[in-house]
Structure 1
Amino acid sequence: MSDSFPLQKLQNITTPFYYYDMELLERTLKTVSEEAQKHGFVVHYAIKSNANPRVLEMIRSFGLGVDCVSGFEVQRALDAGFKASGIVFAGVGKADWEIELGLDNDIACFNVESVPELEIINDLAAQRGKTANVAIRINPNVNAKTHHYITTGLKENKFGINQWDLEKVTDALNKMKNIKLEGIHFHIGSQITDLSSFQDLCVRVNEIHEWFVSQHLAPRVINVGGGLGIDYEDPDQNPIPDFEGYFKVFKEGLNLRGDQEVHFELGRSITGQAGSLITKVLYIKEGVKTKFAIVDGGMTELIRPALYQAYHKIENLSSAAPEEKYDVVGPICESSDSFGKAVSLPRTSRGDLVAVRSAGAYGEVMASQYNLRNIPASAYSDQL
């Protein structure tokens, strides 16, 4: 059992709930900020990973910008007090009202993923007598070596513009009076732990950047996205990702000109390890060969195992008995509602408190009300 959980205090809270280690979040933000500042890099927090108000409050206190993928996220960022000048807006399917929200608030940049989107932004900006800053999202065709659902940089993908269409983009840009090219944007995927994927990205970025320069379009911003992974296997041993090594890849690998800035969009690597789903054991069910620990949290609170077959470390916080193996499953009426199979846990009984670790990214923000369940409350280490 991890020493970072105040068991007695947690036992008084109605389960299931999300528990945030605010001290770890603060240490992570301090590390990412210091490592980025060494190189003059700019970090936008990918709000899709966690939009909890207290989490956002702490992130804002470190001066990070925000990367949004919906108008609702843009509005949440504004409501949380982030400056519009630090908000970038990506996403393949921006509705008119979402683009208008960005224009009306003078956000920093739209990351544009198709020529038709570029045309609509230009038209909506013209109606307002404004100029929209855009970054062109380009598929570098780099394999992120991660789960196929969260690989986004290959040529056969709904995201971004393929390189053979770049001339269409530059032709369109040259005709548009209400668009300003601010940067070029890349994002190859998520939960990337092999830094060589980012080295491959740097090679492609340099090639594409040179092409833009040859077209007399020198982007001020090189946005390389995010995707840095976390250690789901051993969150206590590696609570903070290797931001130093990650940023070093781009410092050494990118060929920059003059006053160009390098921007990042990091989400999971900032919040992932700071959150856990705390759930209580309802029943121990004996199968023919399998013991099931049935808990009161499920895929409605943390969908990643059901959606991606993702691994999360599971700990029994309230038992120190000899270990046995359990399938840890939830109460939702779906066969995929399982957190883990053949999980080694101290002998587990009804009422034990279980932590599903590394749930600070894509946990709370992806919660649903399937089976008419309530969205759980959150608890914070600095308020217990």
Structure 2
Amino acid sequence: MFSAQEITRFESTPTPFYYYNLELLANTLKAVKATSSKYNYHVHYAFKANTNNKILELIQQHGLGADCVSGNEIKKAIECNYTSEQIVFAGVGKTDEEINIALENDIFCFNCESIPELEVINELAAAKNKIAQIALRINPNVNANTHAYITTGLEENKFGINIWELEDVLVALADMKNVNFIGLHFHIGSQITDLNDFKGLCLRVNEIQEWFYDRQIIVNHINVGGGLGIDYENPTKNPIPNFEAFFKLFNDFIELRPQQELHFELGRSITGQCGTLISKVLYVKKGVNTDFAIIDAGMTELIRPALYQAVHAIDNLTSTSEETKRYDVVGPICESSDCFAKALMLPITKRGDMIAINSCGAYGEVMASQYNLRDLVKAVY
């Protein structure tokens, strides 16, 4: 996975740190553009996955738009040369300040999740003598086969407008003079690896489109969100997701009207595999049933295993032993949940060994914290 030269470089770099393979990211972006452009699809990068400046700039250079969920993400997009026409603003709890940031920058679209939100956007836009373009985020009630914490398309989730509310939404929109209804937005979850879930989304979108069509409403933009997963267990074998199959499925099953354009919001599938958390073994501690490999990276650098029980492939980069042993790979944070893997088979591991936690390019650095007053760690490229 890493060359001897890279590992030597890692050994001379203070740990822990995030290592980003920008060549892999560029190849991933080329795959996204090559496959999505066949169907004239629009792809926006979900900023929440990773807001490292070099990564954002490389993504912008490949022509992707920006899917933002906060005012600061909108500001970051502008700083990294994304145009206003490339920026969409989602999120169930947009503040007045954030809405004003978006209005001042004349972003492409607000993805709206409730009548109260529409009312506030209309009011704030009127105060600025502007027309805000909006899409309705509709909860399609499609169950995605993923972790419960990252499913977003069920009625019990906080996201989106329920289908039974749509009549009331249209009545409310009729009285709003400072919003322009241009699209429908959907999102069913994250880290989805079963493409049949997306087929289910397509079929539901078709049904909802018919509901609007029966009321003589055809919007110009359909946004189906993101959610395409990556292979956390075999990152070396599958470094780039199967974008060809993903985009083809939407082409095969979604029914667009002639003037409609299809949008996607991809995050993890773009940056996930290009990032690795590099750490060093501090101590190997004897346990009752397994030994503990205590490393200098913790849940402060990668919270996913503690938060979602997420699995990341882990490698000892420097052990030369042919013998293997089971280890619990844990961090130094004062929480029992600060654990990256349990009973993991690794080569015999000792103090000073270099450890690579793979697939950390999404929801790694961006979710880092300074809990226990730890320093935020740096990125290496």
Mapping for residues 154-233 of structure 1, pairs under 5 Å: 154-233=154-233
* Other-structure match for 2:14: 14
Q: Distance in 2 between matches of 1:112 and 1:213?
A: 20
Q: Distance in 1 between matches of 2:40 and 2:290?
A: 54
Deviation at 1:182, TM superposition (A): 1.2
Alpha carbons of structure 1 residues 228 and 201: separation in structure 2 relative to 1, 3 Å = same
Q: Distance in 1 between matches of 2:305 and 2:185?
A: 30
* Other-structure match for 1:327: 328
Aligned positions, number: 380
Secondary structure of 2:34 counterpart: helix
Alpha carbons of structure 1 residues 361 and 11: separation in structure 2 relative to 1, 3 Å = same
Q: Distance in 2 between matches of 1:84 and 1:319?
A: 49
Deviation at 1:2, TM superposition (A): 4.9
In the alignment, structure 1 residue 372 sits paired with structure 2 residue 370: no
Task: Give the share of equivalent positions with the same residue, in percent.
Answer: 61
* Other-structure match for 1:291: 291
Deviation at 1:50, TM superposition (A): 0.2
* Other-structure match for 2:339: 338
Alpha carbons 1:2, 1:236 under 8 Å: kept: no
* Other-structure match for 1:120: 120
RMSD (Å) for aligned C-alpha atoms: 1.0
Runs of 4+ displaced beyond 2 Å: 1-5
Deviation at 1:136, TM superposition (A): 0.2
Q: Give the TM-score normalised by structure 1.
A: 0.98
Q: Distance in 1 between matches of 2:48 and 2:90?
A: 11
In the alignment, structure 1 residue 301 sits paired with structure 2 residue 301: yes
Q: Distance in 1 between matches of 2:346 and 2:220?
A: 52
Q: Distance in 2 between matches of 1:2 and 1:9?
A: 11
Give the letter for the 1:361 counterpart: A
* Other-structure match for 1:27: 27
Q: Distance in 1 between matches of 2:213 and 2:14?
A: 58
Alpha carbons of structure 1 residues 332 and 5: separation in structure 2 relative to 1, 3 Å = farther
Deviation at 1:80, TM superposition (A): 1.1
Secondary structure of 1:117 counterpart: helix
Q: Distance in 2 between matches of 1:18 and 1:234?
A: 19
In the alignment, structure 1 residue 106 sits paired with structure 2 residue 119: no
Give the letter for the 2:199 counterpart: Q
Give the letter for the 2:39 counterpart: H
Give the letter for the 2:336 counterpart: S
Show CA shifts across 1:127-162 (max 9, x none): 111100001000100011110000000011100000
* Other-structure match for 1:363: 364
Structure 2, gaps ≥5 residues long: none
Show CA shifts across 1:239-272 (max 9, x none): 0001000001110111111121000000000000
* Other-structure match for 1:237: 237
Secondary structure of 1:138 counterpart: strand
* Other-structure match for 2:87: 87
* Other-structure match for 2:62: 62
Q: Give the TM-score normalised by structure 2.
A: 0.98
